[in-house]
Structure 1
Amino acid sequence: MAYWTNLLAEIRMMILGIVVEDYRFESDRYARAGYACVCQEWQSVFEQSNFRRIIVDQERIGDFEKIMGNEATRYRQGYLEHLVLCIKLDEYDCTACQSKEDDETIRNNNNVFFNSPWDLLFILSKWVGFVGTRREKGLTLELGVYSPSDCKHTFRDFHLEENHPYQEFNDMKSYVDAYKQRIDRLDLGTLNDPYHGWVNGHQESPSLGSKQRFMGTLTVNDNLPQLSIYSYTFPNVEIVTGLLIRRQFYWKIKAKFLDKLLRETFTCLRWFNHEQFHFEKDYERLLLHGIPSTLRELDIFENFNKVLHPAQFKQLTNLEQYTKRANPSLGKALSKSSRLLTMLSAAFIVDAVDFFASFKPTNNPNSNVFPGENLQYLALTSQLLHPRKADRHINGVLIAAGRAAAFMPKLRGMEIWNGGGGHACVFRYRNYDGKTYISWECTWGPKFKLDPDVIDCWANVPRQGQYPHGNFTVTVNKKLLRHRDTKTYGSIVPLLKQRSWMQHFISDFQMLSRKIRTQHLRHRHNIE
């Protein structure tokens, strides 16, 4: 320490900053917590990182209040940026894994699900005022529900770890290699388990009961206070400005419960990112009436695959597998409720053709039917962007999008995209630094013709700002991917300009890891 204290204070801070920046939880685990115990100088540096992101389950909510909420530790609230409530349900064995939960299990799960967020929200409701620069940005709250048994039975490849461990962004850099090493340590015998639908590393069609248990829906019991906007009120939590629900938590949270939170609890919410494998019909009400007036960014991503949702897909050919049709009413509801949003991304849950329904070439455009005057960035999917769809249908939705863009004076970027087995494409509009362009990129080459009316429509979109009359360029039929490299919709996501805010970075890596797992398992099985 004598040598350390001889260094200039600025140099000491630079060294500690490098340690923080290069830290990896997967390799060092709790080393950074130890650094904070060395001295007061180190504590002030490392605690800011140690308490930046915290994960708690229902059993640790009380401990969370002790380390963040009393007089001596309240200053740490200013460090916290991301709080994860990871609700852990009871485990189950093979006698129950192939069937839906019984009534008693459902009641127990709903009790745990209701009480856990209530306890945490009550604590956060006492966090008033803003302390430090970080707190001014507010707090991101992430919700997730799982059972440790979920990854041990039929769907053992859907979860990377049993207890969803803490991960830093730097951990993701070596995530792929670590995942391969974990697969190498697997006993392939565990993936030759016909009872759970596994044959030599390949998963067969799972039973309906196993899917119902794996993707249960959580609400509240009848004997608990009803989740009604008229009767029961959750505590007001001003500190939460971001709400995140990631794809790795397959248990669904009732739309009615989320509607309650958005209406009454998160009164200062600025953004909401919801990733899920299936959205219920009640989600339409949430999109139509539940978006709070403070919300500026909304990102909804409906994940899907042939294992969990075979009934929702239509198998056509080897190169065109599993096409999903969105609910038209959801698209229209979201179009009506986007009045105050500046950023909107909706993948597969809605279709661009429904979102822009009022602006079809046969309709008279009217700004009153599309409240998009604040939108700066928009990303939507459309089933029509497909090599087997007629050119007139594709051009029709692109013209409708261009007519709607005329009523978006602040629009900087729009992407309409689609992807699946053997196909992927994206229509892109960008307006920045005096340069405006549209582009069409796909996997099927020059088969599609971009109609001149589409080009004229987008060329005439009003442009405000510093460069209202900048250059306008058109790029058509640029090669996006080879069709054989497009296995799922996840293949195109890394190529989207608005990818960084469409999904959480861990979700991106999980989509990549699932592809790697399949290829690596098949390769290893062939060798053995």
Structure 2
Amino acid sequence: MATHRMITRSRKLTWASLASEIRVMILKAIADQKNPGWASLASVCKEWQYYLERANFSKIKLRVSCLDDFERIVSPQKRALVHHICLNIELPRYSSGCCSKRRSPPEKERFFFRDGIWKLFSILSTWGPADNLALEINAYSSSDRVHWFRNIYLSSDNTEDDEGAISDASRTGILRHDPRHGWMNGQQVRAPPRSAVERLFQPIPSFSKSLPQVTVVTCLIIRRQLRRYLPPSSIADLFTSLDRLEYISWEPWVPQHYQYQLTKQDLLFFALRMYNALRTLNKLVIFEDSPEFYYPFPARPLSLPLGPYHDFGEWRAVVFASKSQDLQHLPLNPLLDPSEWLAAIFASKSQDLQHLAISFMIDAGNFLRYCRPTWSWSRLQSLALTSQFLQDGLENRKKIEVLLRQAGDLVQKMPKMHTFVLWNGGRGHACAFIYRVDRDRASITWRGTWHLELSPAVVKSWQPAAEKLPISELQVKHECIREVVRSHGDAIYYLQLPCQVIEPASLWQIRRE
């Protein structure tokens, strides 16, 4: 009896035999992992090129030295693939020793900054209008992280905890042992000298001439990792040169200045220019950071030079020249606290916006006080503000109640409002009052490390907003935060604010610095 051997042939598995959904998943995984040489895989076939080129060109990180080849690499046919450009301007290393009191001249840094911005704007000025092109600008010196500031981030896009990030943090902690510069076994035990802090925040002088007009950029991002002091005139030049901006995310540092009021006057001039220039803006997010949030040491006043716009007559003339009648009522008193001027201007600008978040730069009380009874907010959908009064203590309770009732009355004039946030946070404390419209119902929530009972008067002031919805009952919630709050970054993280008040990568940095 013959024995027959059964030989079966398995069908050879090929790329084409895979379902299209599986092929897309594989290509997406390749693009997400970004292993060395992944971009070259786009040359395998047209299908791979379609997916991998889109991922490769979606966000482009540039140094100034890359700009000479930028137009060749991003041909007119590939411009539509670019959605985010990040320009990292590497400033020169310090010309003197890190510990020397002698600083590098700011003119040298201005050349690098001005040259980089000018080159990129010249290139982008030739691009036609496109949808959703974001421009992110950063500037730093590799010397910034030497010795005294070992814990800061100069350029990082991390947004969440992962094993790699934790491992990196542990490794750098081991390297942070430098008693001479205030570091003992990974802990900062001594404040940096004034000269070191001044160098980190030293100013970059203004642009010497107007920048080219750019219509392709609709989003501008300047994150807190850019610590150099940009004069308001430079910020205003950036804003006015990008004449189709719809979204600005700006994270300046508090001007560290012994004549702080005059520096704020410069900021006022910037705000007035912004008001007149940004006619296309829909969303504005401002987060003002400060070294005071980080160092458990006595504050040291710094000595940055005055900006170019400290002539009171000049910015007074700008107010009168404004076409907006909403600005004409402002008291033209140069001795008035400039933060009130800023609050008045941002309050007026809020009428044109869909989303507005301003953290720490102005106080919510001033903002609400300058909202005029005759105004209406037909477009505003979300508003987030901070107030120094939102801290535990009997002396603050009545002020908080007045603030919440004023806000409730104001929201009645905002028919599209779905999110209102009033918050505050820092080392050891965090709290937020949150108004939310979720589908067909409304709620008000107090969330924080300390309890505040929302009085019947406060609830009543927010009730009319709920009465316009199918389910008219206003939900009232109280939620407690039990975690340890080490910084204002932790406060934002644990408050789980329903709208953006800071860039995710910046929040990641703050919680580690």
CA distance in 2, matches of 1:377, 1:36: 41
- Tell me which of 356, 366, 373 is aligned to 1:366: 373
CA distance in 1, matches of 2:159, 2:391: 32
Deviation at 1:308, TM superposition (A): 9.5
User: What's the counterpart of residue 49 of structure 1?
Assistant: 55
- Tell me which of 392, 400, 408 is aligned to 1:402: 408
Flag structure 2 segments of 5+ consecutive residues without an equivalent: 1-11, 256-262, 302-336
Give the TM-score of the pair, scaled to structure 1.
Answer: 0.79
Please state if 1:350 is matched with 2:362.
Answer: yes
- Tell me which of 286, 291, 296 is aligned to 2:270: 286
Deviation at 1:115, TM superposition (A): 1.6
8 A contact 1:335–1:356 mirrored in 2: yes
Deviation at 1:372, TM superposition (A): 3.1
Please list, as runs of the form range in 1=range in 2, the aligned pairs for 1:470-489 lying within 5 A after superposition: 470-475=472-477, 477-479=478-480, 481-482=481-482, 485-489=484-488
User: What's the counterpart of residue 386 of structure 2?
Assistant: 381
CA distance in 2, matches of 1:258, 1:246: 13
What do residues 470-518 of structure 1 show as CA deviations (whole Å, max 9, x unaligned)? Answer: 331222x431x12x6122221221244545632222122223333xxxx
8 A contact 1:56–1:86 mirrored in 2: yes
- Tell me which of 221, 228, 233 is aligned to 1:256: 233
What do residues 63-93 of structure 1 show as CA deviations (whole Å, max 9, x unaligned)? Answer: 111111xxxx322111101001111111127
- Tell me which of 183, 186, 191 is aligned to 1:201: 186
User: What's the counterpart of residue 125 of structure 1?
Assistant: 125
Please state if 1:20 is matched with 2:21.
Answer: no
Bigger Rg, structure 1 or 2: 2
CA distance in 1, matches of 2:294, 2:510: 15
Once superposed, what is the RMSD of the aligned Cα atoms?
2.8
User: What's the counterpart of residue 4 of structure 1?
Assistant: 14
Give the counterpart letter for 2:180 in structure 1: Y
CA distance in 2, matches of 1:246, 1:30: 28
8 A contact 1:299–1:346 mirrored in 2: yes
Q: Using a 3 Å threshold, how does the CA distance of structure 1 residues 452 and 44 change in structure 2: closer, same or farther?
A: same
User: What's the counterpart of residue 180 of structure 1?
Assistant: 166
SS in 2 for 1:337: helix
8 A contact 2:428–2:485 mirrored in 1: yes
Give the counterpart letter for 1:338 in structure 2: S
CA distance in 1, matches of 2:90, 2:233: 21
Please list, as runs of the form range in 1=range in 2, the aligned pairs for 1:40-119 lying within 5 A after superposition: 40-68=46-74, 73-92=75-94, 95-99=97-101, 101-102=103-104, 105-119=105-119
The worse-fitting range, judged by mean Cα deviation, of 75-84 and 387-396 is 387-396
User: What's the counterpart of residue 492 of structure 2?
Assistant: 493
User: What's the counterpart of residue 301 of structure 1?
Assistant: 287
The worse-fitting range, judged by mean Cα deviation, of 285-294 and 142-151 is 285-294
Give the counterpart letter for 1:307 in structure 2: Y
Give the counterpart letter for 2:428 in structure 1: G
8 A contact 1:275–1:300 mirrored in 2: yes
Please state if 1:423 is matched with 2:429.
Answer: yes
User: What's the counterpart of residue 451 of structure 1?
Assistant: 455
Deviation at 1:312, TM superposition (A): 8.7
SS in 2 for 1:501: coil
What do residues 220-255 of structure 1 show as CA deviations (whole Å, max 9, x unaligned)? Answer: 37xx33xxxxxxx32221110000011222123222
Deviation at 1:331, TM superposition (A): 2.1
8 A contact 2:27–2:51 mirrored in 1: no
Q: Using a 3 Å threshold, how does the CA distance of structure 1 residues 172 and 408 change in structure 2: closer, same or farther?
A: closer
Q: Using a 3 Å threshold, how does the CA distance of structure 1 residues 471 and 32 change in structure 2: closer, same or farther?
A: farther
Deviation at 1:42, TM superposition (A): 1.2
CA distance in 2, matches of 1:496, 1:373: 28
CA distance in 1, matches of 2:362, 2:120: 33
Flag structure 1 segments of 5+ consecutive residues without an equivalent: 130-134, 226-232, 314-324, 360-364, 515-528
Give the counterpart letter for 1:302 in structure 2: E
Deviation at 1:427, TM superposition (A): 0.5
Deviation at 1:43, TM superposition (A): 1.1
What do residues 113-165 of structure 1 show as CA deviations (whole Å, max 9, x unaligned)? Answer: 11211110111111115xxxxx4x23100011000111122111112x6xx36
CA distance in 2, matches of 1:17, 1:486: 39
CA distance in 2, matches of 1:234, 1:301: 25
User: What's the counterpart of residue 211 of structure 2?
Assistant: 234
CA distance in 2, matches of 1:513, 1:197: 18
Give the TM-score of the pair, scaled to structure 2.
Answer: 0.81
CA distance in 2, matches of 1:341, 1:508: 24
CA distance in 1, matches of 2:344, 2:369: 7
CA distance in 2, matches of 1:430, 1:22: 39
- The percentage of counterpart residues that share the same residue type is 27
Q: Using a 3 Å threshold, how does the CA distance of structure 1 residues 329 and 405 change in structure 2: closer, same or farther?
A: same
SS in 2 for 1:218: coil
- Tell me which of 348, 368, 371 is aligned to 1:336: 348
Q: Using a 3 Å threshold, how does the CA distance of structure 1 residues 486 and 349 change in structure 2: closer, same or farther?
A: same
Q: Using a 3 Å threshold, how does the CA distance of structure 1 residues 114 and 49 change in structure 2: closer, same or farther?
A: same
8 A contact 1:288–1:337 mirrored in 2: no
Deviation at 1:267, TM superposition (A): 1.2
SS in 2 for 1:339: helix
What do residues 327-383 of structure 1 show as CA deviations (whole Å, max 9, x unaligned)? Answer: 333223211222211000111111111111147xxxxx6133xx5332100111111
